[in-house]
Amino acid sequence: MSLLSQQAQVDLPARALGGIVVPTIRPESLGEAARLARDLRCPIVALCSTHIQVREARQRIGSNPAGMLAASIPVSPQGQLGNLLSFLTTRHPENDVLPSCHNDIARKRNTGLLLARISGWQTVMFLDDDIRGLTAEAVSRAAALTGKYRAVGFTIEDYPDNSVVCHAHRLTGANQGTFPGGSALILDVGRCDGPFPAIYNEDWLFLYDAVRTRSLAVAGPLCQLPYMPFDRVLRAASEEFGDLIAEGLFRLIHEGGDVADARADFWRSALERRARLIEQIADRLLLREGNLQEIGAALMSLTAARKRLAAISPLACLSFVRAWRADVDTWQGRLKALPALGTLTEAAKYLALNAVRGGR
């Protein structure tokens, strides 16, 4: 059963893109996103981690008549933003073993959602700084689809957007697909009312309700800059809990189930399936000819993933999913209480962002 609608050619009324949000720790890579924003005549927001990154982001974005914002999102936001970004999932015990990068991307994307809401944007695009190949025409066609779908994504096929374990699976010669995610995603702001949880695959969980209701469309393929998935052994370990949760929940959708069906016995079976998968990939890699250094690094990554998996219990999975669904309800209440201020500048002031602003 396909979870996606291939709807790139549907003739729908045009919808202007409200703005582009780029979560980044590499402001030197913002050139492509800045060009796209200028071509679309829409604002661009660069959400950084440090004040130094903000200053460089401002230089990279340059002049944008439609408006720009570069802001740093601290690890522990204070005031209004801190209250809005307080979630059960962030305090979940499994977060104690997560590297900061997974929390960082969730904070930035949720801040982008808040800015879009308060600014009165109908649509927003999340775009990672390593995505290449997008044109204003392709984005405009995808934005029009939000008149029918909650979310419209692009599949990243070159370089494939997968977890480390999935890259190892592909390295064995197996067919490994990709799924649209937050790296290039256009949303109908008014209908996307869940937060990005602090977990690897946060975009899959954000899109869960859109996928379940068949309201996620794919607008075509894109490419991202290549990276070495096996260069840091602990990367696979950091992804394992999120991979397990996301794969499990999407498996339920395939089977016609829902979150309520994800009980302890379901997660016990999911853990067993995941362990078998990792071991089968490792067995195939051991028989694989090719770059011995790459295969060796992949096997070490699988070892780290398997060790992390062994420490995850069905209770941890169950409690995280329950916390996530509670956060969705909480977030919806917070969104309803937000003011509609109409401009990016006023939205940034409301959230007390430490920001550099320009234009509207």
How does DSSP classify residue 92?
S
Residue 179 belongs to some domain of the structure: yes
Number of domains in the chain: 1
Residue 1 reports pLDDT greater than 60: no
Q: What is the pLDDT of residue 95?
A: 83
Q: What is the pLDDT of residue 15?
A: 92
Residue 320 belongs to some domain of the structure: no
DSSP helix/strand/coil, 73: coil
Mean pLDDT of 6-24: 81
Whether a cis peptide bond, with omega within 30° of 0, leads into 159 is yes
Residue 7 reports pLDDT greater than 70: no
Q: What is the pLDDT of residue 2?
A: 59
Mean pLDDT of 257-274: 96
Mean pLDDT of 140-153: 96
- Flag the least confident range among 78-92, 97-111, 195-209, 236-250: 97-111
Pairing relation of β-strands 131-132 and 216-224?
antiparallel
Residue 9 reports pLDDT greater than 60: no
Residue 236 belongs to some domain of the structure: no
Is the Cβ–Cβ distance between 246 and 259 less than 8 Å?
A: no
Mean pLDDT of 240-260: 95
Pairing relation of β-strands 20-23 and 68-72?
unpaired
Residue 122 belongs to some domain of the structure: yes
Q: What is the pLDDT of residue 14?
A: 86
Residue 152 reports pLDDT greater than 60: yes
Q: What is the pLDDT of residue 8?
A: 47
Distance CA 6, CA 216 (A): 9
Residue 351 belongs to some domain of the structure: no
Torsion angles phi and psi, residue 355, rounded to 5: -135, 155
CB neighbours (10 Å) of residue 86?
A: 13
Residue 123 belongs to some domain of the structure: yes
Residue 112 belongs to some domain of the structure: yes
> How sure is the predictor about 355, in pLDDT bands with cuts at 50, 70 and 90?
confident
Percent of the chain with pLDDT over 90: 86
- Flag the least confident range among 13-17, 85-89, 245-249, 303-307: 13-17
Torsion angles phi and psi, residue 313, rounded to 5: -110, 160
Q: What is the pLDDT of residue 4?
A: 64
Q: What is the pLDDT of residue 192?
A: 92
Residue 306 reports pLDDT greater than 90: yes
Mean pLDDT of 309-316: 97
The torsion defined by the Cα of 336, 106, 313 and 244, in degrees rounded to 10, comes to 110
Residue 99 reports pLDDT greater than 70: no
Distance CA 203, CA 66 (A): 27
> How sure is the predictor about 5, in pLDDT bands with cuts at 50, 70 and 90?
low
Pairing relation of β-strands 184-188 and 354-358?
unpaired
Q: What is the pLDDT of residue 75?
A: 87
Domain that holds residue 77: 5-226+328-344
What letter represents residue 7's amino acid?
A: Q
Percent of the chain with pLDDT over 70: 95
Residue 283 belongs to some domain of the structure: no
Residue 274 reports pLDDT greater than 80: yes
Residue 359 reports pLDDT greater than 60: no
CB neighbours (10 Å) of residue 198?
A: 27
Tokens of 331: 């977030």
CATH of the domain at 186: 3.90.550.10
